[in-house]
Amino acid sequence: MSISVQNLTKRYGQQVAVDQLSFTAHKGEILGFLGPNGAGKSTSLRMIAGLLKPDSGRVFYGDLDIWEQPQEARRFMGYLPETNPLYLDMYVREALSFYARIHQVSRDTVEQTIEKLGLPWEAHKRIRHLSKGYRQRVGLGIAILHDPSILILDEPVSGLDPNQLADIRKLIRNMATDRTIVFSSHILSEVEQICDRLLIIHRGELKALDSLRSLQAQQDGRQIIVAELEPRISFDQIMEIDSLEHYEPVGENKIRLVARSGRDMRRDLYLWTKAHNVTLLESRVEHTSMASLFEKLTQ
Amino acid sequence: MKTILTIVRKDLNRFFSQLTSVMSLVIFYIILGLLLWYMPDIGILDGYYAGLDIYFSLVPILLIFLLPALNMDALSGELAAGTLDLLLIRPVSSFQIVAAKFISGLTIVFIGLLPSVVYVITVYFLANPVGNIDMGAIVGSYLGLLLMIIVFTSISLFASAAVTVPVTALMLAITLCAFWYWAFFLISRLPLFYGAWDYWIQYLGLDFHYKEMGQGLISFASIVYVLSLTYIFGQMTWWRIQNIRYQ
């Protein structure tokens, strides 16, 4: 089941929190929601989850308009809010069983969820006594308990240690095979590793929506190659390369080469080293990092 | 109905697993016990005849404080913690939430009031000859108490939904319960109304109907009055939940 968001807008007084947001997330896809603090991520996710009514715009789960057929739509959606609200005085198994009964899900499913999330040793504990990471797992368990086709996860990996992170990452990836997942996180490396496509939002406006590679290509503009050459040469000679615009040394034998706009420098570089009997010890195309991509789009 | 019962079960488990919640019932009985059995001149043991008049005149005053205390967390706590959000995104209607919270509140009070039957049994055996008590008045008063609990629970739930801070919900609920119990009697005493409209103004207050039932007079009008008040506050709670859902 896909999620289709059409012209979603939310205003708080004069301030536009989300402005005409539109996108579609398909089954089997993990869509990463990125944006700086206050960009409108959580507001957007709350509207997509049906917790906040937009001033205008519509959200569809498959063919279901979530504001026209809310009861039907809610059956297909699991949501983990950023604050991860839990009944702290309840036991883990008790809390999961409560939501299972609400969705009329069997006891076996509760046990399977406990197992899946690595909670068997914590199931008999009160949620109050769990660490933040385990509470996050319980929240995730509550979101996936009824096997929803659509999963909206607002900062699901915050507070997890590296081992827990790897487990949850694996779990989310496995779940994505037959679900649509919208995933927000401020940990850029997590989004990079988990998500198939990225949606970058800033001041309520959609800034970018594409795969990481495509976004990097769009932002890179000019090709950058970092090369290590042997023997040491006068770098000025390298300006003979036609497609090279300028260079900057980055070490004794290392050089960063910036191509002219729209030119691919790789072949020229290879031919130049061959012609000058220079050995190319290492060469790699440098992409815009996730962090600088994020910075560029949200400044 | 299954969804309502699931929420009721969860609320009852949470209530009776918290020492502080159970303590509020214990404190209620300690205060009530001291007033009933140890208060000089007006205590049951100092009475001229075996009866529970003092119990039925004290309990409404204690309930004005007890019921808001028992229900203050019911919705405001869930609102503040964000757990209400998790219910609202599930296939649970606003009516089911209000109904479940109302049933939970009533069940807790009824369980809490069960031990008071001991007072009836005690007075029954204290009477001379044994059993010489006005059972009609006692049954009528219990019915009046039941109807008052229904109204106070409805008011307390509304207060709990109206604000996100449980203590504020407590204060609001106490004010509203006290208003519906006493305010109309006090207003009727104003010189403007006294001797003219005072009866009809008193008629709007809960204490009027409660006292009537205590005399064994269970009128249809009183039942309609109590159920109407319950419905009005229940409807306002529902509106509030709808408002939160569609904020």
To the nearest 10°, the Cα dihedral for B1, B3, B5, B8?
-140
pLDDT in tens, chain B (247 residues): 888 999 999 999 888 888 887 888 888 888 878 877 777 776 777 766 667 777 788 888 888 988 898 888 889 988 888 898 888 888 888 999 999 999 999 999 888 888 888 888 887 887 777 777 778 778 888 888 888 899 999 999 999 999 888 899 999 999 999 988 888 888 877 777 777 777 788 888 888 887 777 776 777 888 888 889 999 999 999 999 988 887 7
Chain A hits for B87, Cβ within 8 Å: 102
Query: Residues A206-235: what's their mean pLDDT?
Result: 75
Contact of B243 with chain A, judged by CB distance below 8 Å, is answered with no
| pLDDT-derived band at A221, boundaries 50, 70, 90 | low
Chain A hits for B3, Cβ within 8 Å: 102
pLDDT for B159? 93
pLDDT for B89? 86
Degrees, nearest 5: CA angle A218-A248-A229: 100
Degrees, nearest 5: CA angle A229-A233-A238: 80
pLDDT for A288? 66
pLDDT for A168? 81
pLDDT for B50? 67
What residues contact residue A112 under an 8 Å CB cut-off, 6+ apart? none
**What phi and psi values does residue A24 have, to the nearest 5 degrees?**
-130, 135
Asked whether the beta carbons of A182 and A278 are under 8 A apart, the reply is no
Q: Would you say the C-alpha torsion A161, A164, A169, A175 has a positive or negative sign?
A: negative
Q: ipTM of this predicted complex?
A: 0.82
Q: Which of A4-8, A176-180, A235-239, B170-174 has the lowest mean pLDDT?
A: A235-239
Q: Name the DSSP letter for residue A83.
A: T
Check pLDDT > 90 for residue A71: no
| Closest CA relative to residue B189, chosen from B212, B214, B210, B207 | B207
Check pLDDT > 80 for residue A128: yes
Q: Tell me the domains of chain A and their CATH numbers.
A: 3-217 (3.40.50.300), 221-297 (3.30.70)
Only one residue has tokens 């290879």, namely: A270
pLDDT for A206? 84
The residue with greater pLDDT, A58 or B58, is: A58
Asked whether the beta carbons of B44 and B123 are under 8 A apart, the reply is yes
State the DSSP string of A27-54: TT-EEEEE--TTSSHHHHHHHHTTSS--
Cα-based distances in Å from A184 to A2, A9, A136, A200, B46: 17, 19, 14, 10, 70
Q: What is the pLDDT of residues A29-49, one digit of tens each?
A: 888 888 888 888 888 898 998
| pLDDT-derived band at A218, boundaries 50, 70, 90 | low
Tokens (6 digits) for A293: 């991509």
Q: What is the pLDDT of residues A168-199, one digit of tens each?
A: 888 888 888 888 999 888 777 777 788 888 88
Chain A hits for B14, Cβ within 8 Å: 87, 89-90
pTM of the model: 0.79
Beta-carbon separation of A81 and B91 below 8 A: no
Only one residue has tokens 């609400």, namely: A102
Query: Residues A203-223: what's their mean pLDDT?
Result: 74
Alpha-carbon span A236 to A234, nearest angstrom: 5
CA A10 from chain centre, in angstroms, equals 23
Testing the interface with A: which of B11, B19, B21, B89 to mutate, by most A Cβ within 10 A? B89
The residue with greater pLDDT, A211 or B227, is: B227
Asked whether the beta carbons of B96 and B5 are under 8 A apart, the reply is no
Beta-carbon separation of B89 and A101 below 8 A: no
Beta-carbon separation of A102 and B87 below 8 A: yes
Alpha-carbon span B122 to B118, nearest angstrom: 6
Q: Which of B2, B82, B89 sits opposite A50 (nearest CB)?
A: B89
Beta-carbon separation of A79 and B6 below 8 A: no
Q: Which of B3, B6, B89 sits opposite A51 (nearest CB)?
A: B89
**What phi and psi values does residue A263 have, to the nearest 5 degrees?**
-105, 145
Domain that holds residue B133: 2-245
CA B12 from chain centre, in angstroms, equals 17
pLDDT for A142? 92
**What phi and psi values does residue A255 have, to the nearest 5 degrees?**
-145, 140
Tally of domains in chain B: 1
Testing the interface with B: which of A53, A67, A87 to mutate, by most B Cβ within 10 A? A87
pLDDT for B154? 94
